[in-house]
A and B are shown apart, each in its own frame.
Chain A
């Protein structure tokens, strides 16, 4: 597709279960970001990948959160042993390059809404 694709669009899970969220960036985009938006709050940075460099994981809230990216394509955000406070919309964004990202040229997916019961 032409844009950033995320799946699932909605996920309801029970506390303690693991979840995986997927992001397909725009083809050719080397930079990929994950953000989280909890109800009534702004987007919080979680992690970003740039080419083959080590990812910047500085925004991950706990060791229950992890993410992987295969080359310059698909990324998966995994949340282990989910808690109710993990309920949020998880947004993925990609950018052609780090330089483009620095100018704000990020393309966002529609997000994955996670509800932890």
Chain B
């Protein structure tokens, strides 16, 4: 079946450290891939996306590249800030599936000053 697996958290980093949150997916077709972020006290919001192999999604200094050969969509940021502390969710969806998302379990990131 289709599924998404993320690295377990919590992840604790110092400000300006490099961030990687791993995400791998399984799919019977060709999914679109997403990263959502949930800041404390807020709802999930779309951070970035990629719709086909080798696409790179980017936003707010975060990047993720759709790697079909490794079925991965790892989230990276070169220099994290305290304000990046949040829970990050990787997700996939398939065209003509009504916009339904298949989520990973979420990874909590805590950035210390």
* Chain A interface residues toward B at CB < 8 A: 3-4, 31, 33, 35, 37, 40-45, 48, 50, 56, 59, 91, 93, 95, 98, 100-111
Contacts and interface: CB of A to CB of B under 8 A. Distances in A.
Given A42-B89, A42-B106, A43-B89, A110 B43 contact: yes
Interface string B82-100: 0000000101010100111
A107 to B, nearest CB: 7
Contacts of B32: 102-104
How many of chain B's residues touch chain A, expressed as a range? 20 to 34
Interface in B62-113: 89, 91, 93, 95, 98-106
Contact of B93 (A42, A102, A108): A102
A45 B101 contact: yes
A3 B43 contact: yes
Contacts of A3: 43
Contact of B42 (A101, A103, A110): A110
B43 A50 contact: no
Query: Nearest 4 pairs between A and B by C-beta?
Result: A101-B99, A108-B43, A42-B103, A108-B44
A68 B32 CA distance: 29
